[in-house]
Structure 1
């Protein structure tokens, strides 16, 4: 996980990483005053290919000074590599080129571990810069016994350690594999600490900016070394091709001087892949593709925006984001420019743009506007806490944050095709808890027997068409793929010849931790996001806006909102594997002109989470002028103590679950909505009170309107769903389906047992005791007995069996409800898209709207049903 210092400070001994106290080895003469090196131009000041033989120590590189070592007995040189052994757990070794003290440096080295650690937390391979008696910057790769690796950048002053950034490599390391580590430290008023690690052609980048008062702005020594966890046994490692490049004075962030890069080590060096970040902690994805141009993460666009059109048939008007490339937002004066085809080391100007979005974010000041030129950027971007930026496309530019990369090198293998060296491994934990198994109780099982691979984030496309993942090689057929993690191979069942094959290589697109940040007019697709990562885009700070953004074809959830006052405006969420939008503790959330369609593309069970949008524990939510289409699950689902919800002027069409599922919610306005052709209940109200349901067209579903009460009690702390920020019990949240008013709706087309259904499964409340009120509606049934009951009406404790009414007259006579309503049997009253047929006469049916409903209604005074165009 990349985590900038402004976002999180991890101080002192770190359980999962950091520099243990014993690792703070200081070279024996580090406190002396060697000559400060200042180069007139970027230059490789020190290079050592280890072509010598030294029994004890490191000797000296050809034409260069010798090393200063923390313990010469730990080092030797043979076979073209330096050897180091750490015999005592909890200790470290380090070697510094003698006489080299510099301010801005870039180091590179090729590490090898002859065997993975046997147990414990493993070995920490590191590069250090600006080393003085008071502190240093420290970049390390932590390798554990399973080959998992974490890349970290830290500032160390005395015994205090601050993690500036961290990410987990998606590639598992193996013994004898070359690990090329680079570390760059530049600047004084703001210190940029960058790290790059390349393993087997897969590159991960880490970037951090240290602008704190504790930053290290003085020149110091550099070193290469390692630390052994106190819980591990003695460990060897090797290193060679050690190089140090020294920048000219003042070539740090904000300077126009180009940044130096060291001579390339012998290992291959593909384009850097920005490190994945996630809240709470991600497992990013590897990049198995061949090396692209090293200066940029931009790739050829695999599809034109013209192919990204969505079937919105049946909606009242177009919803969601415009196609990428139609933005006309101007470029403001002083904007920071990004161009993926630019050379690395730019300054963000129009003539010298940054080559990655993350570089621009890292270098930009708060309030900056970052303008991105056309391209496909294989990045994982973090906006750190304390930094407010706007990221937008250039006028007319098609900009995609793309989690997938091309895969080549296929060969025929019987009836399949295979590529070797596929090291991508993603976490397939099926729940919001990393490492936890699937649930076993009803309603808490995420994975169905029919779709056992749903939680596996791997994704592959051939010419833009998705393949389906299977669990073994012998299951591979045309249109499917299998990942053989044991053999590092990928199999596909469709020929790649003459086609472009792309596979997911990143897990996260955006982690937004800077309050007030705006993301505008970009597309996001193809990320291998695990369930527990919460979303491909995570909003983790208040007052964030997404506008004109498309989020499509990601492995699980498209966007997760976990902070107050977020706005999603003109946003499309399409074909994401689990959920379009998830939200929790997202007070004052605004969804405006959102299009969520065909989400839960991986076919997780509909409960506990699935569909277009699910919102929990949030207050003051507005969903307006939006569309939720053909999601495998509910179109909209609110749950677990949502208070003050409005769903207005929106279309919920063809969802496989409920159209709208309003559960454990209070104070709800459902006004001018078109809810048509959904597979579950069209509208389900469950343990939810103070509800206004006015001027909606609600047609289809196995129960058209289903108002139910169950035994869950807000006073029972053991029942999930309480808002931890609220008093217990919460007086605003009774969890009772009480005070519900229905008026001026068109209600019909039920395929179940009833059209209007009010039931209390706890057998405590009659519908009259719950104050359910209904009038001014047009009811419809396909026939006099389809469904069998027009209305089901709870009798509560008086009789566990509810009233069932087959006619409107009998229902009126007993309940006194719907005195102005009409009921029509044996014929439709709407067109297939929900427009009221012209021959349906309804004079005197419409009733005065209460103020809350009237505030959202823009149709005629006597209108019944949703307003149609």
Structure 2
């Protein structure tokens, strides 16, 4: 389906009356708005192509009925601002899609709305086994009231100065936001958590990003039910992640705009992670941390994980963390230059991480036995993001 002139705002509009509709194997291109607008419940979009649409390939409006959608095996290619956008959707699943080059030509402001996939004010969404490459904007962006998202086994490459996964102004809820077994390279931030609670970051492989993990409390304020208050950042858990060769200032950055007046820790748990630098001096700062009482700006930078005066010694976090300095990437990964970040046999990064909680083990969809979940390796691999087992 093709819309060549401005009067064709979209190719297809699915409303509430079309519950259960299935759209398969159709191409949507050159529409002035989106290729397809989804406002009907329990709709399946499978094996379609959405390309060169002015704003987005697909728009999902959950407030008008677009809930419990299944978006599977589609290609979102070179749409003007976003591959897919959605709001107020509940229970929708995004599985095995390809997002390539969205906003790569128009270059709308990435800090405003441009993205591979962006959802707002949504709940219990699942985003897994997607490949996102060359999108000019945050690749996966959960912004403003996204509760209980599950983001697992995705591969993200090449998003410039933007984030691979960005969770922003989103309360985690009782279960939290699960971000697990993703492989992210060539981003500004591999994973960024901003003004969001209860993020659970497990077994991701983050390589060659400017900063591999950012957790920050900024002064952006919520809206709607959140009013105008600054949302806090609490109860972040990061375990079993593999951080390798950041290209910018640091591997991990924890920051607060009010660090000297709000001493609440950003992390509940930070442990069992691996910090790799091919050159111990590049970057010179391994971890930038806040809040730290009694220091200038209530922040402090650390060049080393271990050793006297290092991060473990001063802050007391990462008691089971591992630093790998002056180790070539080739000693860790099967073929890093080709983007294959599976651990080679005998890799110094191959080590047992902490046992996976039952819900994390279930979320990664690998059929792990309880014994496997208790003896998991750090990081992910590139077999569609699946975890790499290290049975002890």
Residues 134-169 of structure 1 deviation map (CA, whole Å, 9 limit, x = unaligned): xxxxxxxxxxxxxxxxxxxxxxxxxxxxxxxxxxxx
* Residue 647 of structure 1 pairs with residue 151 of structure 2: yes
Corresponding residue for 2:387?
none
Q: Out of 275, 281, 284, which is 1:779 matched to? A: 275
How far off its partner does 1:862 sit? 2.8
How do 1:697-736 and structure 2 match up within 5 A? 697-714=205-222, 721-722=223-224, 735-736=231-232
Shift of 1:787: 1.1
Change (3 A) 1:806 1:741: same
Deviation at 1:797, TM superposition (A): 6.4
Q: Secondary structure at the match of 2:286?
A: strand
Residue 849 (str. 1) matches residue 345 (str. 2): no
Change in Cα spacing, 1:529 to 1:747, as seen in structure 2 (3 Å) is same
Residues of 1 paired with 2:345 and 2:49: CA distance? 38
Q: Is the 8 A contact 1:672 1:856 kept in 2?
A: no
Name which structure has the greater RCO, CA cutoff 8 Å, separation 6+.
2
Match for 1:840 among 332, 347, 351?
347
Gaps of at least 5 residues in structure 1 are 1-400, 405-423, 427-504, 715-720
Matched, 1:511 2:13: yes
**Hey, what does 2:322 align to over in structure 1?**
822
Where does structure 2 lack aligned partners over 5 or more consecutive residues?
A: 384-392
Q: Does 1:812 align with 2:312?
A: yes
Shift of 1:636: 0.5
SS in 2 for 1:754: coil
Residue of structure 2 aligned with 1:681, choices 154, 171, 189? 189
Match of 1:611 among 108, 115, 125: 115
Q: Which has the larger radius of gyration?
A: 1
Q: Which of 180, 183, 196 is residue 671 of structure 1 equivalent to?
A: 180
Q: Secondary structure of 1:808's match?
A: coil
Q: Is the CA contact 1:509–1:524 (under 8 Å) kept in the aligned structure 2?
A: no
Residue-by-residue CA offset, 1:222-272 (whole Å, 9 max, x unaligned): xxxxxxxxxxxxxxxxxxxxxxxxxxxxxxxxxxxxxxxxxxxxxxxxxxx
d(CA) in 2 for partners of 1:604, 1:867: 32
Residue pairs, 1:491-502, within 5 angstroms:
none
- Give the SS at the match of 1:682: strand
**Residues 292 and 300 in structure 2, CA contact (< 8 A), matched pair in contact too:** no
Q: Is the 8 A contact 2:51 2:76 kept in 1?
A: yes
Match of residue 236, structure 2, among 740, 754, 765: 740
> In structure 2, what is the equivalent of residue 752 of structure 1?
248
**Maintained 8 Å contact 1:791/1:806:** yes
Aligned counterparts of 1:552 and 1:817: Cα–Cα separation in 2:
46
CA contact (8 A) 1:623 1:646 kept: yes
- 3-state SS in 2 of match to 1:853: helix
* 1:775-816 Cα deviation digits (max 9, x unpaired): 111111232221121111102665424121100111111122
Distance 1:802 1:853, change over 3 A: same
Pick the aligned partner of 1:631 from 135, 138, 148.
135
Q: Is the Cα contact below 8 Å between 1:791 and 1:811 reproduced in 2?
A: yes
Say if 2:100 and 2:135, in contact at 8 Å, map to a contact too.
Answer: yes
| Secondary structure of 1:693's aligned partner | strand
**How many Å separate the matches in 1 of 2:220 and 2:102?**
29
> Structure 1: how far apart are the matches of 2:272 and 2:75?
35
Change (3 A) 1:615 1:798: farther
**Which deviations, in whole Å up to 9, do the C-alpha atoms of 1:562-613 show, x marking residues without a partner?**
0222221122111111100001111222111111111113222212111201
Question: How has the CA–CA distance of structure 1 residues 729 and 528 changed in structure 2, closer, same or farther, with 3 Å as cutoff?
Answer: closer
Q: Distance in 1 between matches of 2:350 and 2:79?
A: 45
* Cα pair 2:2 2:31 within 8 Å, conserved: no
Residue 794 (structure 1) aligns with = 290
Structure holding more helix per residue: 2
Q: Is the 8 A contact 2:116 2:137 kept in 1?
A: yes
User: SS state of the match for residue 311, structure 2?
Assistant: helix
For residues 597-608 of structure 1, the aligned pairs below 5 Å read: 597-600=100-103, 601-608=105-112
In the other structure, the counterpart of 2:376 is 862
Give the alignment partner of residue 696 of structure 1, picking from 192, 204, 216. Answer: 204
Task: Give the count of matched residue pairs.
Answer: 353
TM-score, normalization by structure 1: 0.39
1:176-187 alignment runs, 5 A limit = none
- Where 2:163 maps in the other structure, the secondary structure is coil
1:729 Cα deviation (Å)? 5.9
Aligned to 2:166: 661
Secondary structure in 2 matching 1:619: coil
TM alignment of 1:340-419, pairs within 5 A: 401-404=1-4
**Structure 1 vs Structure 2 CA RMSD:** 2.3
